[in-house]
Amino acid sequence: MDYQKLITIEPGKRGGKPCIRGLRITVYDVLDYLAAGMTHEQVLQDFPYLTEEDIRACLAFAADRERRLALVPG
């Protein structure tokens, strides 16, 4: 998924954290809700301006960031 079309970073918005489509909800917010046990459907119900594609973009962004992390020598 090409999350770069959906995830935006603006210095003056939410402290420069990655947000969804320029909205004030961050990637972290969505990931935190999912990690807390909310389903995609519950997130979408609580935030009707989000889409399933937005949630997938957050997951893809997090996976890409994780992949880019430097390995710590063992």
User: Is 71 inside any structural domain?
Assistant: no
User: Is 49 inside any structural domain?
Assistant: yes
User: Is 73 inside any structural domain?
Assistant: no
Q: Which pTM does this prediction carry?
A: 0.89
User: Is 58 inside any structural domain?
Assistant: yes
Instruction: Quote the domain boundaries for residue 15.
Output: 8-66
User: Is 44 inside any structural domain?
Assistant: yes
- The owner of tokens 């917010």 is 29
Residue range 48-60: mean pLDDT, rounded: 98
Q: Is pLDDT above 70 for 21? A: yes
Query: Over the chain, what is the mean pLDDT?
Result: 94
Report the CATH number at residue 12. 1.10.10.10
Pairing of strands 19-20, 7-8: antiparallel
Give Cα separations from 24 to 29, 37, 71 (angstroms). 10, 22, 32
**HSE-up (13 A, CA, CB side) for residue 15:** 3
Higher pLDDT, 68 or 37: 37
